[in-house]
Structure 1
Amino acid sequence: MAVRRLALLLEYEGTRYSGFQYQKNAPSVQREVESAIQRLTGEQVRIAGAGRTDAGVHAAGQVVAFTTEAPYECRSFASALNHFLPEDIAVRQAREVPLGFDPRRHARSRVYRYTVLNREGRSALWRRFAHTVYGLLDAEAMRVALAMLEGQRDFAPFAGPLGGRRSTVRRLYRTAVWREGEVVRLEVEGNAFLPQQVRRMAAAVLRVGTRQMSMEEFGALANGGRHGACQWMLPPAGLCLVSVNYPGLFFEET
């Protein structure tokens, strides 16, 4: 049987998982997907993911890839695999890709979105998908602050533990902040992100929006250069990996 490589477009609710990456004694998205593939095909595979989302972080467009000898057509493979996955993980689409395809190294950009619920009183429906802020929230000030981070720069002030020496220079291609009634969304697109970077950036921008930090203070923090200078970090529930973009690989809009 011919060996081929498949890429899967995944969505998942990260609430009950320790993150995407496999962990020996904790539930992970990777463990569930690999287990489902084994139950479907009889093969033991190791999937590679585009992004290692943290515990509690969601995804609407995570991309994973693996090699297989399974003869399924892509559409039927996605449908069949969903039968073996838990309800909080779903395969949206499957695509055949070159054998050398690496979903992390070959990604051109990643898009993350953080959702803030701005209202008086807590929400039962949004609690697993948004961070709630009570009182004043200036979305326009947040938009201006977040835009200051666009371009290539050292994001060390917004980095969490790195686990070794590595470059903290990244590029943000695009930022956006907008309000939809009680919901304020922050979106960033970049070539790659450091551990906890998006949640720390969102936390600092949120302090500008609640007038706990001036624009000048935000600029000084962003340009300070000291690793972990931003000590604030928003909870994981509001964060979602929206999409991962590749040259020459397109998933259909659904």
Structure 2
Amino acid sequence: MRNICVKVSYDGSGFNGFQSQPYGRTVQGEIEKAIKKLTGETIIIIGSGRTDAGVHAQGQMFNFYTESTIPTQRWAIALNTRLPKDIVIIEAFDVPEHFHARRSAKRKTYRYTIDLGKFPDVFGRQFRFHHPTPLDIDAMREGLTYLVGEHDFTSFTSIHSTKPHHIRTIYEADFIQEGPIVHMYVTGNGFLYNMVRVIMGTLLWVGEGKLVPSDIKRILEGRNRSLAGPTAMPHGLMLMDVEYFIEKQG
């Protein structure tokens, strides 16, 4: 039995999230069907985390156990020929038997993208939240600094969160502007349900002048979802990278 880790990218527009659901098309469901076609095995893959409906990924990771003898370096090509065009396998490599894509993850990076142009870009609209009125990006950047470090992020997660606690660590966070396009990058040891989207929705209020940057500290310390802003639209969010401290074995 081999344990294989795979890096996958996908356009989340047509999916009901990454994780298998009773209804709706999911990334996990499509990948598991492709593996079944390839090897005949019924396998449940283990994702590094969930992404919501409409959220994209450039570097989602998953692992699975297989008895197939297909060489590891052939898995990406073999799966891509059996997957829909909105899912692309980037690479596959062998990992130790104990490796678990979610539990072994050390750092994850998300990006949320805003388009400040007067009109939406027809070619990029499904990956960017269009906000045609001005935003104070410097104020948003200042507000974001209050979230760096280890905190209880109860105010910045869904009330439907099922996690036993909401303490997470954000290592790095910043805004990068490229003309009318603004990216927020956030790297942490893990993220709660809707966490990045609630952070973005609250920072949009800062950018619009509805809050001042220091309000982020007050909201964080309040540990109450009702204190924060709205949950930003899913299509602006992308999982960029998941990092592990392992040696690739194949």
TM range (shorter): over 0.9
Query: 1:16 maps to which residue?
Result: 14
Q: 8 Å contact 2:140–2:213 — kept in the other structure?
A: no
How do residues 1-254 of structure 1 correspond to structure 2 at under 5 angstroms? 3-164=1-162, 166-249=164-247
Long gaps (5+) in structure 1? none
- After superposition, the C-alpha distances for 1:17-75 in whole angstroms (9 at most, x for unaligned) are 11001012211000000000010111110000001000000000000000011112222
Q: 8 Å contact 1:161–1:195 — kept in the other structure?
A: no
Q: 8 Å contact 1:143–1:178 — kept in the other structure?
A: no
Q: 8 Å contact 1:158–1:228 — kept in the other structure?
A: no
Q: Which letter maps to 2:175? A: V
Q: Superposition RMSD on alpha carbons, in Å?
A: 1.5
Q: Which letter maps to 1:46? A: I
Q: 2: distance between equivalents of 1:125 and 1:249?
A: 38
- After superposition, the C-alpha distances for 1:140-162 in whole angstroms (9 at most, x for unaligned) are 22111111100000100011034
Matched residue SS, 2:14: coil
TM-score by length of 1: 0.94
- After superposition, the C-alpha distances for 1:155-176 in whole angstroms (9 at most, x for unaligned) are 0001103454610111101101
Deviating beyond 4 angstroms after TM superposition, the runs of 4 or more aligned structure 1 residues are: none
Matched residue SS, 1:211: coil
Percent identity, aligned pairs only? 35
Long gaps (5+) in structure 2? none
Q: 2: distance between equivalents of 1:98 and 1:27?
A: 31
Q: 2: distance between equivalents of 1:4 and 1:128?
A: 37
Q: 8 Å contact 1:159–1:228 — kept in the other structure?
A: no
Q: 2: distance between equivalents of 1:179 and 1:163?
A: 32
Matched residue SS, 1:247: coil
Matched residue SS, 1:101: coil
TM-score by length of 2: 0.95
Q: Which moved more, 1:241-250 or 1:173-182?
A: 241-250
